[in-house]
Amino acid sequence: MSHVPRVVIVESHSLVRRGLESLLSGCSETDVLSVFESPQQWTPEPGTRPDVIILGLTFDQRVSAADTVSALAQHGQVLVLGDLADRDGVTTLLRAGAHGWLPCCVADDEVLGAIATVARGGTHVSPVPTTRTHDEPGAREEHVPRLLARREFETLRWIATGLTHAQVARRMGLTEATVNTYVKRIRRKLRVGNKADLTRKAIELGLMRRQPDKDGA
């Protein structure tokens, strides 16, 4: 039997909080450990470490969000829920230790998919908003690197959306070993380390606005 992700919900808006609790409690794919209005209300207990901490952000919390994420990340993988102005805000959260971000208006299926991805140690980022016309698709892509070959560029896109190497291989019609080789080359060329770093780089390059449909696990 596969492991069911254990989730802690931290959300100040009562309506959103009740909605998340209802969704996740009624789903066999998640186990809700506890629900809190604020991080200050939660005292982590030994032996009950959650797989995912869903952190809801209010407008007032966005300034100090990175500090909150950094503190919570010591106790589990953080998935942030809240609207942000641009991808710079998402990058800041990831650098602070978050493993994912979702906007407030998001489908139930994406919430569940994001939890599953983050629980496995992956990164899930919804398509990121942009407010600048020169950031339209293609503007940043032209700068990406001629360093990357076409298939490496495609691999980066899929990896950044949260797919595993095996899923990327199926999507691209390659062997998993070939995808592993592509990822090693991408990391070397872009000078990044783990998958979270790859995702941050993809956001910085403007590759995360359109999120393709994912394969099954």
Q: Pick from 125, 152, 167: which residue ends a domain?
A: 125
pLDDT of residue 23: 93
Over residues 1-11, mean pLDDT: 87
What's the domain count of the chain? 2
Segments of 37-102 assigned E as strands: 52-56, 77-81, 98-102
In a domain, 106, yes or no: yes
Across 12-16, 85-89, 135-139, which has the greatest mean pLDDT?
A: 12-16
Whole domain around residue 197: which residue ranges?
133-204
C-beta neighbour count of 101 within 10 angstroms: 27
Q: Look up residue 27 and give its amino acid.
A: C
Q: Do 65 and 114 fall within a single domain?
A: yes
Top pLDDT among 89 and 14 is at 14
In a domain, 213, yes or no: no
pLDDT of residue 216: 45
Q: Do 112 and 161 fall within a single domain?
A: no
In a domain, 93, yes or no: yes
pLDDT-derived band at 69, boundaries 50, 70, 90:
very high
Q: Do 117 and 151 fall within a single domain?
A: no
CB 141 within 8 A of CB 206: yes
pLDDT of residue 148: 78
Euclidean distance between CA atoms 124 and 101, whole angstroms: 6
Q: Do 120 and 174 fall within a single domain?
A: no
pLDDT-derived band at 212, boundaries 50, 70, 90:
very low
In a domain, 212, yes or no: no
Query: In this model, does residue 86 exceed pLDDT 80?
Result: no
Burial (Cβ within 10 Å: 0-12, 13-18, ≥19) of residue 206: buried
- pTM over 0.85? The answer is no
